[in-house]
Structure formats: structure tokens, C-alpha cells
Amino acid sequence: MIKKNPMSPVPKIRFEKRAGKVVTVISGLHTYGADRLERIAKELKTSLGAGGTVKNGVIEIQGDKVMAIKAWFAKQP
């Protein structure tokens, strides 16, 4: 079994309604830096087939994808 690093940041995943649309917001990973956040966002968008962006250290994915994103993070080493 792989041990998780206790010092790693823990993502906070929630969804928000904005102008009648739903966006899943992933925060708490700002210590990873912009390049790593962009890579994570790109992988999530590809695996979920959804649009998204990175703004101010927060990843935003279109739609209510909370459960799918939690599953994606659980699979990461």
C-alpha cells in the first residue's frame, strides 16, 4: 500500500451555482504552483470531458463533477 504524504495539501472540492450554471471548484492546492495546477486541470478536463480553467490558484470545472473528481484524486499516487 502506498503511504500518503501527510504534508501534502488536501483538495477542497465543492460545487457552486453561477448565473444559473454549476461549476465544481477545487481549492486548497495553491501551494502546488501554477504549472502543476494547469496540468491537473488539463487531466481532469480530459478525463471528465468537461471544460474548465485555473483562476487565482483554484481549479474550476464545468458541471457538477464532485464525485468524479473525488474518485480521480483517490486514484492518484
Task: Provide the whole-model pTM.
Answer: 0.87
Domains of the chain, each with CATH number or no CATH: 13-75 (3.30.780.10)
Look at residue 3 in the predicted model and tell me its pLDDT: 53
Look at residue 4 in the predicted model and tell me its pLDDT: 64
Look at residue 61 in the predicted model and tell me its pLDDT: 96
Across the chain, which has 77 residues, the per-10-residue mean pLDDT values are 67 92 93 90 95 94 95 87
| Burial of 65 from C-beta contacts in 10 A (0-12 / 13-18 / 19+) | buried
Look at residue 68 in the predicted model and tell me its pLDDT: 95
Look at residue 1 in the predicted model and tell me its pLDDT: 44
- Report the alpha-carbon distance of residue 39 to residue 73 in Å, rounded: 13
What are the backbone angles phi and psi of residue 57, rounded to the nearest 5°?
A: 75, 15
